[in-house]
Structure 1
Amino acid sequence: MSRAILPVLAALFALPAGAMIWKGQDFAQIFQAVAGPTDLLEGCTDVPEAVSLAEELRDRALRIERYMQALDQRKADLDAAEATLRTRLGELQASKGAIKASRNGSTEAVRTDIDRLIALYDQMKPAEAAAILTNLPSDFAAEILMRVQPEAGARIIAAVEPRQAALLTAQMGARSVRKP
Structure 2
Amino acid sequence: MKTPRPAPAPAPAPKPAARKPRRRIGRGSLVLIAALFAASGLVRFGSGFALALDSAEATPAAAETAECVTEPGVMQLYSEVQTRERKLAEREKVLSDRSQAITLAEKRIEARLASLVEAEQNLAQTVTIADKAADEDVTRLVTVYENMKPKDAAPLFSAMSPDFAAGFLSRMRPETSAAVMAALDPKVAYTISVIMAGRNAGAPQN
Q: TM (normalized to structure 1)?
A: 0.63
Secondary structure of the structure 2 residue equivalent to 1:128: helix
1:151 is matched with which residue? 175
What SS does the corresponding residue of 2:67 show, helix, strand or coil?
coil
CA distance in 2, matches of 1:61, 1:129: 89
Structure 2 segments unaligned to the other structure (5+ residues)? 1-63
Consecutive unaligned residues in structure 1, runs of 5 or more: 1-39
Change over 3 Å in CA distance of 1:178–1:137 after alignment to 2: farther
CA drift of 1:59 comes to 1.8
Query: Residues 92, 135 of structure 1: CA spacing in aligned structure 2 closer, same or farther, 3 A cutoff?
Result: closer
Distance 1:88 1:131, change over 3 A: closer
Which of 126, 147, 150 is equivalent to 1:102? 126
Question: Number of matched residues?
Answer: 141
Gap change, CA 1:42 and 1:147, over 3 Å in 2: farther
Moved over 6 A (4+): none
Deviations 1:65-119 (A, max 9, x none): 2222222222222221111111111111112222222222222222111111111
Identity over aligned pairs, percent: 27
Identify the residue that residue 148 of structure 2 maps to in structure 1.
Answer: 124
Contact preservation (8 Å) 1:44, 1:50: no
Equivalent of residue 157 in structure 2, options 117, 133, 148 = 133
What's the TM-score, normalizing by structure 2? 0.56
Match of 2:35 in 1: none
* Cα displacement (A) at 1:172: 3.4
Distance 1:82 1:164 in 2: 57
Q: Which amino acid in structure 1 is aligned with residue 108 of structure 2?
A: T
Match of 1:10 in 2: none
Displacement of 1:42 after TM fit?
5.7
Q: Residue 168 and residue 64 in structure 1: after superposition, are their counterparts in 2 closer, same or farther (change >3 A)?
A: closer
Q: CA RMSD for the aligned pairs? A: 2.9
Structure 1 residue 49 and structure 2 residue 73: aligned?
A: yes
1:21-100 alignment runs, 5 A limit: 43=67, 45-100=69-124
